[in-house]
Structure 1
Amino acid sequence: MLIASLGVLSSWYSGKIQNHLVINSAQTNRLVEITSSLEIGLYESLVYLSAIKESNGILEGQTTLNEPTLTLLIQQFEEQIDRIEMDYDRMYDFFENSHLQSSGENLEEANRLSERIKLYTNLSKEWLILLEEDAEQASVQFNTSISPFFRNNITPAISQLREQTLIYHTEEKKELSLQLSRLNKILGIAFGASVLLAVLISLYIYRSIANPLKKLRDGAQQLGQGNLDKEIEIQSTDEIGELAKSFNDMASNLKKRTLARDYLDSIIESLQESLIVTDEEKAIIGINKAGLKMLNYSREEIIGLPVTQFYDMESMGDIYKEKQNDGSIFEFQLLAKEDMQIPVLFSESDLINYEGEKVGSVCIATDITERKKSDQAIRDSLREKEVLLSEIHHRVKNNLAVVSGILQLQAYASSNDEVTKALTESQARIRSISLVHEMLYHDHTLAYINYKIYVNDLLDAISKMYMSDTKDISLNAEVEDISLDVNLAIPCSLLLNEIVVNSYKHAFDGVGEGKICVSMMENGEYYMLAVEDNGAGLEEDELKDSKSLGKTLIKTLTSQLKGEYQILSGKEGKGTRIEVKFPKRKLNSARKSY
């Protein structure tokens, strides 16, 4: 009877301890599940923020999500914030109603966590507003404020809360194990006469309770340390077996959801830009793969070195001092191993903690070595083409001068006045074209000429060519400071030559002296060219009906310029004024013939 009573008492007491352990384990399991859900929700909110930044095109070359719309990502982020608040309310209610010994201390930790979550939520919402106003500044704030605050304050707080609970749970299980051990000793003394039975009972209790509890304890500890691959192997179907199954299911779910955190890390590592993080003393505390590759260092070699060791302060120190604090991106040079200079686009920003204190710096550098080489190759090629084009203009001018000289010799050798006249006129036309190429050769742009200078040179050449002892014809020019490209300059020059030569030859027949005035100005989208003389005068019908080469060229060249001309009387009704109006444009390559 005594043995039976002791057995019943022992069974009741063991059951009470086991039930208490199961209740505490279940509550701990629930707390771990709530805190894990809260942590995962926070990580997912950060992933959404990162995806919003990437979808908005802040950093070129970054790996992005599957192209969700920015509106949908923001909506998903806000829904995630609501779920976070629900999870926190569940955790707060749990601490208020839980019978765990650590509930009071955990409640204080939960309040501190609440303040950090609220600060993180407010920072995130302000960041979304800033993203609409200034995408570049939003990128900097995300990398220097939101992400570091999340990693340095929220994640450790949740982990500390969970680990503290698990430690209390482990200690409580140890206490219960001690109680079981004391119970076994009491039973051993009480059943001194029944040693064999006591041993069997002890073995049974140990095997049915102690071993599963030990496995459960070890599994909970490893889960709390982040080993989500650990599986608790308990085959029983009792409460402990169900609890072990719950732990295994929870670990499996956590493993799937924590991929989001790894995804964030992979984004940073996959950036094409080099990213370097330093502490307040400018010592390197973090660097991604692109930075290691660019500087040709291993992670173990570079961590702890001063970042200024890699700045080319000797040649670019002044630029760095000027630009380092204004948050701008500027060209700079970094020094890799063996002092190899690397040109980069560089920016440096302060790393600020949640208290507004500077805790370090974030440096971003983009290697532009290949771009520099391409720019230099383009400049070299451009210089070669400029030299070639200059030589072409020079050779064309020289060849035209040779042709002009040949025509002049031929004119001197001819005894036919008509032939001499035709050769002289051809020489004047060639001279007008040669002057264009001569001015292009001397102009640094190789494409435009100062038409004011050209007109004066052309009039001087015509005056010398048609100089006569019997006539005193003066040539005056009033030309604005106008630059024409070669496609307009050549037909305009030929046109001016024909009009002036025509006036020179025909306006002053039987007159001893006269004056020819040339003017050119800009009028809106048009150029206005005018040639006026005080000679005999010319009717418009005469020019239209004339079949001479000179007058035919005037009409043809005006048409080629897509302009129009009119013939007016000169001042006080004397002489002729020919006005040509043509648009400011580049001639089509098909119309460049002259």
Structure 2
Amino acid sequence: MLTKPKILVVEDEIIVAVNLGQKLKKLGYDLVGITSSGEEAIQKAEENHPDLVLMDINIEGNLDGIQTAELLRNRFQTPVIYLTAYADENTLNRAKRTQPLGYIVKPFESDQLRSSIEVALYKNELEHRNRKNEESLKSTLNQMESGIITTDENGLVLFCNPVAEKIAGLSYAESIGLSLTKILKLEDSTSSSYTLPLSDVLISNQTIEKNGIFAVDGIGNKTAVSIQISPILNTEGKSSGSITVLRLGESDNTNQSYLKEIHHRIKNNLTVISSLLSMNASNLKDQETLDIFKDSQHRIQAVALLHEVLYENHDLSSISFDLYVRKLTDLLFEVYKVDRSKFKLVLDIQTPKIPSEMGMNCALIINELLTNSFKHGFKGRESGSILIRFSLNDEQYFLEVKDDGVGLSDDTIAQTRNSGSLGLSLVDSFVKLLRGKLKLENENGCKVTLSFPTRHET
């Protein structure tokens, strides 16, 4: 037997609400509740998970029907049909922004009610399937080894996968809505600018391929690629956009095999060291010593992560620093079992690529500072926030790590290397390797600022 669709009614006119509930039951729907306010509606939706909400626009409480519908869609993806006797243009425009599945004008008959509900449920099921298909397609494209960029009919970027992000040197968020020719800078083998023939593809509806091309990111790094640009055709056979496939140059195959072997051996060796530490830690009784062993394991994991990112980048000389920091912070949140819904992390990595050695030292500094935040800065706290900012200005790199925890003691700020903390002593050592300057402050928590030159004099 098919499950009856569950419907929640939000209506503050009790007679109208009861009459509506009776009609729904006669029509064969499962009435899971009648409420008169937005606050009650949200509580009922959380308890009963309705398939549809019939929502009066003007209801009791601090939330009107439109505000309630927006919360229901954002929090539970619950579809809504509005009930209204009348509405001015401004109210209707507000209602449209919440993407309702229909409007029913009071008073209404049972046939009108049934048809509106059935159409809404059908549209919601189609939207759900489309979302699943889009997620599945996006996941597939994200796993591909080639760069994938799609555009609309005007050449504006709709999607790009991680490989394309690396090649272009821009994140998906930075690329979306921009012209493809603006985010993808190309050169031929003579270093002359190469113009992507996007308009030709959209006009002719024909695929165009080009080999021996180099993609140049924002800081001048070049990646050898072959390009295939194809039109995306709609049901009428007309171009509704384009898909660009960037395949990494085949000339790098030998180097990539060698790089893969190096990567494999280093990761194996680091795993062996981490395992030895873990085996020895299992025999320890003293908690302080055990914590030292665990912190050492985490440092090894941070180094292993570096080699993983270097391998994914197909480059030993520079590192995708934004990717490395994202992966490192994900690892630390998992290791220290930090609830990401309560502890907010903001990453502002304005310079995506830096020399690999500098990137490793910076990342290990971040590793120590975040470890300190999770173990000490947020001790006893139920929520908090961390900011990591990295930028380049006048041949100086700037790294800022800030949390809103309890802060550092005045003694620690005054004398970092003799603070008695292995983590902060390591930070001081990494700063020396970078030939940088470190500043520690208590500013509604702990704020650490590092500056170091882009080039080291020999």
Q: TM tier, shorter chain?
A: 0.3 to 0.5
TM-score (norm 2): 0.41
Structure number with greater CO (CA < 8 Å, separation at least 6) is: 1
TM (normalized to structure 1)? Answer: 0.32
Structure showing the higher helix proportion among its residues: 1
Higher strand share: 2
